């Protein structure tokens, strides 16, 4: 790939989002940006010059694509964070606690981070507030304050910021949460996910009743509630039929692509740090379940850059090059933790406690096409799984080596860490290295949507998604608050077309909506065993997809062992706006807005 942006959109993205306008000497192209980033991240090394060149070699070949916050902030001297994503602290159920949490979120978003919140700690609507004598308005009402705050902060930004809101499936306000984004103009900066427990799935499968509860010292049942690792007494507010609640969730997902589901017991059971933390929220695109004040430093390996002899019978993915670049990437991300600023002192402490990083992949569908493999085939899934297996093993080896050099992350406990399910599945030689040296980073892998950085890399297919469109129009916000449209061609297809001008397009360029929903899930399931964080992915279905089949998608995701799922039906948000008085521009705006945040179903 060329060291400079080749498309009009890539040039615009670089200029609008990643170029440092105050750099001296001036950044004239993306090569200067790579150099700035490499030098800044390597500044914490004992030999900065050596590692700056090593990092630069991976960046300028587009093999390593750092998260957008790293590209935009590293080496600029601005008061920004390099971490793309955060989960905030538990919201205390008081007016002071709510506004403290709102302020913390505003500060974090202002510094460039997206945020996730679990609103399950807020009492349900209609509950008496003893201190004030008033009646509580419920979690959804307070979410509107967060949405207004985000709208104000982003009014003139060229880069959007999103928030994730989660709520337990047994919270008394779960029905209003499920329906919260049915109005087209509601909570536009939020993604919503329901925290689905194994007990709820069992109740759905058995068609039994389901209790909606909230902590109360005089309650009659016990639950391990958000913000606590111990069971607490809860009061039963209402009993519903589990399948009715499930159907309501699925209907809302069909109509508005919200909410998604997070199988929270599975997320906690697979957490490498289950021995010292509990998870109940994720970042906005859900590739990183995080504890209170947790953050994650992100980057993606650009798989098409590792394909040799594309579109020929000799096409292959260079596993040696992939392994080497993975090891460089882990060191790069570990350094970025120490280079980054953090909006809150609690976030700094948590980042240093676990040293989480999230290395993923992008361009998977393009790489498969270059290898002559179909995305919805067993051969395609096998190739994707093998690539991720190579990355997993190399990442854990690299982090163990870093622990030998720099020390393990502070929360590391050898016996407890090695007993966790994901770690137990590592190759024996990797486990032995961890036992000898410890490990530098508690988590190493997360597959982000990689939307903007994939466009920067000449429009490779984003993350592990299929190709959304061979030739499409992409819409971006400009500094005035308006939008610009760009006609873009998928990178692999553009390459293929230059080599095969007279040939018919092969089926390897199958687009997302033409792929069966089960094949979306099977690809996710093929890669998931090699990812210790999560995978941002959406199951894209056509506009006339049967309503009843959404439940099948969510249920299949659960059976396949995934950590969560999101469904995006083409036109769902446009239909929510409707016709008549709604302008075509408004309908296009809704589609663009939702497409930008929809890729967040997780493994």
Catalytic pick from 250, 285, 296, 565?
285
What is the Rg, in whole angstroms, of the alpha carbon atoms belonging to the chain?
23
What's the pLDDT band for 76 if we cut at 50, 70, 90? very high
Share the mean pLDDT of the chain.
91
Decide: 174 and 167 in contact? Cβ < 8 Å: yes
User: What 3-state DSSP class applies to 284?
Assistant: coil
Whether the pLDDT of residue 190 is over 70: the answer is yes
Residue-wise pLDDT tens digits, 387-422: 999 999 999 999 999 999 999 999 999 999 999 999
Tell me the pairing of strands 260-263 and 564-565.
Answer: antiparallel
Q: What local confidence, expressed as pLDDT, does residue 594 receive?
A: 37
Residue 319 near residue 308, CB atoms below 8 Å: no
Contact status, residue 541 vs residue 567, Cβ threshold 8 Å: yes
Answer yes or no: 85 catalytic: no
How many Å apart are CA 328 and CA 81, to the nearest integer? 21
In the annotation, is 285 catalytic? yes
* Residue 79 bears catalytic tag: no
CA gap 548, 531 in Å, rounded: 31
Confidence class for position 134, pLDDT limits 50, 70, 90: confident
Is residue 160 predicted with pLDDT exceeding 80? no
- Give the pLDDT confidence of 468-509 residue by residue, as tens digits: 999 999 888 777 777 899 999 999 999 999 988 778 889 999
Q: Is the pLDDT of residue 194 over 70?
A: yes
Distance between CA atoms of residues 504 and 170, nearest Å: 53
Q: How far apart are CA 206 and CA 203, in angstroms?
A: 5
Write down the catalytic residue from 283, 302, 441, 459: 283
CA nearest to 560, candidates 536, 528, 514? 528
Q: Name the active-site residue from 287, 397, 465, 589.
A: 287
Sign of torsion, CA 450 69 5 34?
Answer: negative
pLDDT of residue 157: 61
């Amino acid at each position: 790939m060329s060291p400079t942006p080749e498309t009009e959109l890539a040039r615009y993205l670089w200029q609008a989002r990643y170029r440092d306008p105050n750099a001296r000497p001036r950044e004239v192209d993306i090569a200067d940006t790579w150099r700035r980033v490499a030098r800044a991240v390597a500044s914490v090394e004992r030999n900065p010059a050596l590692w700056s060149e090593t990092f630069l070699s991976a960046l300028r070949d587009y093999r390593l694509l750092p998260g957008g916050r790293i590209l935009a902030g590293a080496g600029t001297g601005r008061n920004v964070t390099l971490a793309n994503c955060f989960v905030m602290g538990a919201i205390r159920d008081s007016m002071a606690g709510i506004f403290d949490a709102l302020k913390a979120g505003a500060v974090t978003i202002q510094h460039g981070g997206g945020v996730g919140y679990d609103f399950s700690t807020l009492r349900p609507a209609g509950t008496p507030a003893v201190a004030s004598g008033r009646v509580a308005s419920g979690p959804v009402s307070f979410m509107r304050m967060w949405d207004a705050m985000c709208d104000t902060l982003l009014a003139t930004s060229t880069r959007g910021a999103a928030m994730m809101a989660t709520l337990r499936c047994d919270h008394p306000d779960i029905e209003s949460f499920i329906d919260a984004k049915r109005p087209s103009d509601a909570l536009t900066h939020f993604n919503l996910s329901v925290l689905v427990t194994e007990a709820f799935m069992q109740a759905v499968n058995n068609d039994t009743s389901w209790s909606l509860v909230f902590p109360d010292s005089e309650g009659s049942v016990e639950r391990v509630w958000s913000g606590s690792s111990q069971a607490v007494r809860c009061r039963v507010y209402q009993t519903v039929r589990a399948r009715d609640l499930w159907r309501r969730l699925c209907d809302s997902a069909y109509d508005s692509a919200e909410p998604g589901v997070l199988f929270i017991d599975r997320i906690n059971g697979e957490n490498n740090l289950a021995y010292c933390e509990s998870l109940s929220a994720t970042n906005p695109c859900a590739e990183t379940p995080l504890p209170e004040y947790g953050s994650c430093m992100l980057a993606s390996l650009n798989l098409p850059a590792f394909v040799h002899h594309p579109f020929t019978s000799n096409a292959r993915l260079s596993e040696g090059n992939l392994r080497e670049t993975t090891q460089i990437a882990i060191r790069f991300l570990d350094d970025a933790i120490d280079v980054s600023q953090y909006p809150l002192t609690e976030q700094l402490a948590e980042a240093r406690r676990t040293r989480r990083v999230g290395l993923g992949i992008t361009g998977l569908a393009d790489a498969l096409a270059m290898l002559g493999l179909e995305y919805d085939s067993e051969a395609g899934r096998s190739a994707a799984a093998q690539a991720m297996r190579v990355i997993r093993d190399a990442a854990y080896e690299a982090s163990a080596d870093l622990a030998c050099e720099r020390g393990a992350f502070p929360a590391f406990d050898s016996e407890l860490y090695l007993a966790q399910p994901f770690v137990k599945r590592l190759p024996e030689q990797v486990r032995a290295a961890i036992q000898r040296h410890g490990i530098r980073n508690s988590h190493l892998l997360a597959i982000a949507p990689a939307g903007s950085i994939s466009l920067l890399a000449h429009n490779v297919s984003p993350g592990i998604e299929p190709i959304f469109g061979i030739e499409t129009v992409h819409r971006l916000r400009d500094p005035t608050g308006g939008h610009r449209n760009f006609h873009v061609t998928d990178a692999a297809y553009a390459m293929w077309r230059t080599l095969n001008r007279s040939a018919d397009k092969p089926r390897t360029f199958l687009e997302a909506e033409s792929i069966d929903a089960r094949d979306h899930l099977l690809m996710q399931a093929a890669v998931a065993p090699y990812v210790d964080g999560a995978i941002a992915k959406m199951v894209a279905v056509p506009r006339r997809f049967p309503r009843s089949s959404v439940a099948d998608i969510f249920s299949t995701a659960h059976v396949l062992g995934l950590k969560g799922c999101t469904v995006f039906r083409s036109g769902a948000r446009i239909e929510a706006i409707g016709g008549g008085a709604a302008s075509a521009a408004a309908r296009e705006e809704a589609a663009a807005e939702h497409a930008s945040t929809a890729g967040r179903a997780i493994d």
